[in-house]
């Protein structure tokens, strides 16, 4: 039976960025979001509950959720 993988941690995301040689600013530009919000979500200052921060958390894989259009 396959093991269910949960949301990724901020450390997992940072490691992946480092492995791929991607900066937070570059990832943010590619996804049309603010690099300051991405940094806030990764640091835990911004919880990613609603709005743009929710979208960022879902895109980063840190949160299960849907992105409403």
* Of the candidates 39, 69, 51, 50, the residue with the CA atom closest to the CA atom of residue 60: 39
User: pLDDT per residue over 21-47, tens digit each?
Assistant: 999 999 999 999 999 999 999 999 999
Q: Give the pLDDT of residue 5.
A: 73
Q: Give the pLDDT of residue 38.
A: 98
pTM given for the model: 0.87
Segment 2-25 shows an average pLDDT of: 90
* Of the candidates 38, 37, 43, the residue with the CA atom closest to the CA atom of residue 10: 43
Q: Which helix (H) or strand (E) holds 6?
A: none
Q: Which residue in this structure is represented by tokens 């919000």?
A: 37
What do you get for the CA distance between the two ends of the chain, in Å? 34
């Amino acid at each position: 039976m396959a093991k269910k993988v949960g949301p990724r941690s901020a450390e997992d995301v940072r490691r992946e960025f480092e492995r791929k040689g991607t900066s937070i600013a570059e990832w943010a530009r590619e996804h049309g979001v603010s690099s300051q919000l991405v940094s806030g979500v990764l640091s835990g200052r911004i919880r990613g509950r609603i709005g743009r921060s929710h979208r960022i958390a879902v895109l980063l894989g840190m949160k299960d959720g849907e992105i409403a259009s």
